[in-house]
Amino acid sequence: MKRILLIGTGGTIASEETGDGLAPGISASGLLSRVGGIERGVRVESLELLALDSTNITPDHWLMISGCVKENYDRYDGFVITHGTDTLAYTAAALSYLAKGSPKPIVLTGAQRPIGFDSTDSKENLRDAILCASSDMPGVSIVFDHKIILGTRAKKTRSKSFSAFESINYPELGAIRDGAVVRFIRQECGRTPEFSDFLNTRVALLKLIPGIGRDVLDFLFERNDAVVIESFGVGGLPEAGGFFESIREWKDRGRVAVLTTQVENEGSDLGVYHVGNRLKRELGVLEAYDMTTEAVIAKLMWILAKTGVASQIERMFYMPVAMDMFPR
């Protein structure tokens, strides 16, 4: 008998109509009571941890979710976490580091329409997630619209459609077809998970727009230990506006700069153009390559909670975890 723990955190899947719009109001046990068709040999128990719209999810909540999995890890064979879709990719990425190398499935899911609606994807997604959690699919993943996506590679790409998530720069792990898990890839795992209990949330994100100047970057560096810069195309910074000088000054003061791209697919390559080549050659900024922005943010919070030494930060950043980047 497989024992699965369903952990509720809120989100659209658990929402009900209010006078001010949809808001979470259905418990984890309430969700479970509305889903039929769970295969024999699987026992699902529920736990209500949070009741939040995922817009309100913070890194403290990531730690709460990870802590809940850690506390119950030895009692269950797999875990399903119901969660709002808007920040689901961030939470999945964070759990990939906070419960690193889990040999048991930790599956996140949600819905684009509440479970009480006549037309809803909630029941299929939850049923599929339970099926995946009871299979031989280790590590953190998102199950949505019959897809199984690695937790470090997921991104929400549609705001309303049932097919809300895509796997970025990495194949899907598998799919749910005719009530069965079809596995394409089995991600690596450890004998036991490596749980982490702390995050350094002093990480900021700057999305470049044409004409922006260094004052915004200086503002973020002053208040954070690391800044992730979403650049254009394969990566680079404007030669005017003082960006290079800003990064040099703040790096000398112990800050971390990471360059990524606003383009969802195919990643960065700072060596292609002069505007990017200088950043690596002269300033030694870190490059995200094929990582998602969600994974970069979560990984930096995880790393900076462990070390502030530049050489160790760089080593850990470029060390693949849960295939968040291809080895360099």
pLDDT tens profile 137-182: 999 999 999 999 999 999 999 999 999 999 999 999 999 999 899 9
105 assigned to some structural domain:
yes
Residue 323 lies in a domain: no
At 42, the amino acid letter reads V
Q: How far apart are CA 288 and CA 181, in angstroms?
A: 32
Shared domain for 36 and 153, answered yes or no, is yes
User: 249 and 180, same structural domain?
Assistant: no
Q: Which positions ≥6 away from 195 have C-beta within 8 Å? A: 66, 70, 98, 99, 100
Give just the sign of the alpha carbon dihedral 242, 244, 248, 250.
positive
- Read off the pTM: 0.97
pLDDT tens digit string along 220-259? Answer: 999 999 999 999 999 999 988 899 999 999 999 999 999 9
pLDDT digits (tens, 9 = 90+) for 15-34: 998 989 999 999 999 999 99
Task: Report the pLDDT value the prediction gives residue 24, as an integer from 0 to 100.
Answer: 93
Find the CATH number of the domain harbouring 136. Answer: 3.40.50.1170
Whether residues 111 and 188 fall in one domain = yes
> Which of residues 170, 195, 220 is at a domain's end?
195
Q: Are residues 218 and 93 in the same domain?
A: no
Residue 141 located in a structural domain:
yes
Q: What is the 3-state secondary structure (H, E, C) of the chain?
A: CEEEEEEEEECHHHEECCCCCCEECCCHHHHHHCCCCCCCCEEEEEEEEEEECHHHCCHHHHHHHHHHHHHHHHHCCEEEEECCCCCHHHHHHHHHHHEECCCCEEEEECCCCCCCCCCCCHHHHHHHHHHHHCCCCCEEEEEECCEEEECCCEEECCCCCCCCEEECCCCCCEEEECCEEEECCCCCCCCCCEECCCCCCCEEEEECCCCCCHHHHHHHHHHCCEEEEEECCCCCCCCCCCHHHHHHHHHHCCCEEEEEECCCCCCCCCCCCHHHHHHHHHHCCEECCCCCHHHHHHHHHHHHCCCCCHHHHHHHHCCCCCCCCCCC
**Which position has the higher pLDDT, 321 or 274?**
321
| Catalytic residue of the set 9, 12, 87, 91 | 12
Q: Is residue 328 part of a domain?
A: no
107, two tokens: 């599956």
Residue 241 is predicted with a pLDDT of 85
> In terms of domains, do 244 and 133 share one?
no
Distance from C-alpha of 41 to C-alpha of 49, rounded to nearest angstrom: 25
Q: Which CATH number is 254's domain given? A: 3.40.50.40
Q: Is residue 327 part of a domain?
A: no
The whole-number pLDDT of residue 274 equals 87
Considering the domain architecture, whether residues 16 and 141 belong to the same structural domain is answered as yes
- Do 16 and 116 share a structural domain? yes
How many structural domains is the chain composed of? Answer: 2
Residue 84 has pLDDT above 90, yes or no: yes
Q: Are residues 172 and 218 in the same domain?
A: no
Contacts with 74 (C-beta within 8 Å, 6 or more apart), sequence order: none
pLDDT at 122: 96
Residue-range definition of the domain harbouring residue 31: 2-195
For residue 303, is it within any domain?
Answer: yes
Listed residues 168, 195, 222: the one ending a domain:
195
Q: Are residues 143 and 215 in the same domain?
A: no
**Whether residues 165 and 222 fall in one domain:** no
307 assigned to active site: no
Radius of gyration over every alpha carbon of the chain, rounded to an integer in angstroms: 20
Residue 36's pLDDT band (cuts 50, 70, 90): confident
Q: Distance between CA 238 and CA 211 in Å, rounded?
A: 9
With cut-offs at 50, 70 and 90, classify the pLDDT of residue 281: confident
Q: What pLDDT, on a 0 to 100 scale, did the predictor assign at position 39?
A: 77
Predicted local distance difference test score (pLDDT) of residue 170: 97
Any domain includes 326:
no
Quick one: what percent of the chain has pLDDT higher than 70?
Answer: 100
Query: Pick from 174, 195, 216: which residue ends a domain?
Result: 195
Task: Say whether both 32 and 81 belong to one domain.
Answer: yes
Q: CA 116, CA 118: separation in Å to the nearest integer?
A: 7
- In this structure, are 96 and 187 located in the same domain? yes
Closest CA to 292 of 157, 106, 163: 157
